[in-house]
């Protein structure tokens, strides 16, 4: 695997990319010195042209604020946005067209240069130019056929997304199948068997998508609100999340989306501390079989009787706890807090806790103090206080830890902080009660 950065875009190239280019460009007649030169230049031409095409997509994605990553593999190239940016359908059309546009520009430039040259290119030069035009312009045109997953297919899907509020994949897949029938028939008629095979494969792929995931495609626009709601659980927006779940449950047709909604509802119950309710809801999933271990099951165990086991399972996931959704991350941290030696749990907190996990930090500091790691408790509490957290319980931990450490000045300082904040919080209460009475 070749890795490098160009125009700040990270690029990976699989060796198979060169192998396929070498096979495609191998001379049709007995190879001689000239045709081998043309062949070698063809491999470079494919590499540069496909990369240039992907850079077109990448420039558009970066222009909308995304973080593009480019990969060249056997069947061409792909540019993915790894940021959490959500592009609108109109922007997505521009991104899809930018690749072919870059290719046409490069092809046009080469053509113009060749025409402007005062001398003849010679046989080898003409062959090299012909290949370069074919790769940049010919492939660019084919790539605009309305077939998924070609750029033309992406444009079709985005156009439908715009008018169907996010249900573009099904019509784009239908158009892919129809186009495949026409293109394959034409290719067979012209005895272009390789092209017939390639475009036929795209048609078969789209047909399978429609047959196996038809209901799922109808629910496409429900997936994003569910994902949003799962992220919002981290901000404690439980009511809003419940609204989303009910809306989705009413409209969902496919099992996967229904199950995702049930799972979200169970996470909401866990977040509210209702363990039994979460267990009951989780039992309603139809996609979990005996012995399956889902994130939700780990979450339930984290708050239930077996936090140590839950923490071990969270730790053996193939992604770090910090990358889980907020509710799962909190469950993992909570499990660590309840099971691990305090030192290890704190290390995990320091690396993986997010901005919504403040109460857990305080709990971690308290646990450290109880376990006899006063200096670590003090470190953690001071770090959070320095980050601007104004929690009397946290200041209280800092006070006790400092006292335990025989640091009288610090202990006094944090004791007064705790008292001040507690008084401020206390002073709020009567005020709020009075306001409530006034409302009544």
Residues that bind Zn ion (CB under 5 A): 99, 151
Q: What is the DSSP string of 105-125?
A: HHHHHHHHHHHH-SS--HHHH
Give the H/E segment covering residue 33.
Answer: helix 33-63
Nearest distance, CB of residue 45 and Zn ion, angstroms: 17
Residue 35 or 143 with smaller CB distance to Zn ion? 143
Residues 6+ apart with CB under 8 A from 362: 381, 384, 391, 393, 394, 397
Q: Cβ(403)–Cβ(380) under 8 Å?
A: no
Q: How far is the CB of 99 from Zn ion (least distance, A)?
A: 3
List the one residue out of 87, 59, 56, 68 whose CA is nearest residue 12: 68
Q: Name the residue number minimizing CB distance to Zn ion.
A: 99
User: Between 62 and 389, whose beta carbon lies closer to Zn ion?
Assistant: 62
Comparing CB distances to Zn ion, the nearer of 142 and 415 is 142
Choose between 99 and 326: whose C-beta lies nearer to Zn ion: 99
- Minimum CB distance to Zn ion smaller for 138 or for 320: 138
CB of 368 vs Zn ion, minimal distance in Å: 53
Please tell me the distance from the alpha carbon of residue 191 to that of residue 213, in angstroms, as a whole number: 34
Smallest gap, in angstroms, from Cβ of residue 104 to Zn ion?
Answer: 12
Nearer to Zn ion, 202 or 363 (CB): 202
Name which of 151 and 366 has its Cβ closer to Zn ion.
151
Smallest gap from residue 57 Cβ to Zn ion (A): 6
Measured from the CB atom, is 72 or 128 closer to Zn ion?
72
Report the distance separating Cα 17 and Cα 387, nearest Å.
Answer: 49
DSSP state of 8: T
- Smallest distance from Zn ion to CB 113, Å: 24
Residue 402 gets which letter from DSSP?
H
Q: What angle do CA 246, 249, 255 make, to 5 degrees?
A: 155
Shortest distance, CB of residue 61 to Zn ion, whole angstroms?
Answer: 12
Minimum Å gap between C-beta 94 and Zn ion is: 12
3-state secondary structure of 304: coil
CB nearer Zn ion, residue 99 or residue 234: 99
Task: Name the minimum Å distance from CB 148 to Zn ion.
Answer: 12
Nearer to Zn ion, 53 or 376 (CB): 53
For residues 95 and 61, the answer to whether their CB atoms sit within 8 Å is yes
Query: CB of 126 within 8 A of CB of 154?
Result: no
Report the half-sphere exposure of 66 (CA within 13 A, side-chain side). Answer: 22
Distance from first CA to last CA of the chain, Å, rounded? 70
Cβ-Cβ contacts under 8 Å for 147 (sequence gap 6 or more): 153, 175, 176, 179, 180, 183, 199, 202, 203, 206
> What are φ and ψ of residue 254, in 5° steps?
-95, 150
3 state DSSP class of 13: strand
The dihedral region occupied by 212, where left means phi > 0, alpha psi between -120 and 50, and beta the remainder, is alpha
Shortest distance in whole angstroms from residue 12 CB to Zn ion = 16
């Amino acid at each position: 695997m070749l890795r490098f950065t160009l125009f700040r875009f990270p690029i990976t190239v699989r060796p198979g990319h060169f192998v396929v280019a070498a096979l495609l460009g191998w001379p049709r007649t007995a190879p001689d010195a000239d045709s081998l030169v043309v062949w070698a230049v063809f491999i470079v031409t494919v590499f540069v042209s496909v990369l240039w095409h992907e850079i077109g997509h990448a420039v558009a994605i970066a222009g909308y604020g995304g973080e593009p990553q480019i990969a060249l593999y056997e069947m061409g190239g792909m540019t993915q946005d790894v940021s959490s940016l959500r592009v609108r359908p109109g922007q997505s059309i521009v991104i899809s067209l930018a690749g072919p546009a870059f290719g046409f520009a490069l092809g046009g430039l080469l053509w113009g240069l060749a025409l402007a040259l005062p001398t003849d290119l010679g046989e080898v030069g003409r062959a090299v130019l012909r290949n370069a035009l074919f790769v940049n312009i010919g492939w660019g045109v084919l790539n605009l056929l309305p077939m998924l997953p070609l750029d033309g297919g992406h444009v079709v899907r985005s156009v439908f997304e715009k008018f169907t509020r996010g249900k573009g994949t099904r019509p784009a897949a239908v158009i892919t199948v129809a186009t495949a029938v026409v293109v394959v028939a034409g290719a067979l008629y012209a005895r272009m068997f390789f092209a017939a095979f390639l475009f036929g494969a795209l048609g078969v792929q789209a047909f399978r998508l429609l047959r196996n995931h038809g209901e799922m495609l109808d629910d496409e626009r429900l997936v994003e609100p569910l994902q949003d709601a799962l992220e919002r659980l981290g901000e404690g927006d439980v009511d809003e999340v419940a609204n989303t779940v009910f809306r989705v449950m009413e409209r969902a047709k496919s099992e996967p989306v229904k199950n995702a909604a049930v799972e979200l509802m169970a996470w909401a119950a866990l977040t509210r501390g209702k363990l039994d309710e979460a267990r009951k809801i989780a039992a309603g999933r139809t996609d979990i079989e005996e012995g399956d271990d889902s994130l939700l099951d780990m979450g339930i165990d984290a708050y239930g009787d077996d936090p140590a086991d839950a923490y071990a399972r969270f730790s053996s996931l193939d992604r770090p706890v910090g990358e889980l959704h907020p509710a799962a991350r909190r469950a993992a941290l909570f499990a660590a807090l309840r099971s691990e030696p305090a030192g290890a749990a704190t290390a995990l907190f320091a690396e993986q806790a997010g901005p919504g996990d403040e109460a857990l930090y305080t709990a971690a500091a308290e646990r450290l103090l109880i376990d006899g790691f006063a200096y670590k408790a003090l470190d953690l509490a001071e770090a959070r206080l320095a980050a601007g957290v104004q929690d009397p319980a946290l200041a209280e931990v800092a006070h006790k830890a400092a006292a335990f450490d025989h640091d009288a000045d610090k202990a006094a300082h944090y004791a007064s902080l705790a008292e001040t904040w507690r008084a401020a919080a206390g002073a709020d209460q009567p005020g709020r009660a009075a306001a409530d009475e006034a409302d009544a």
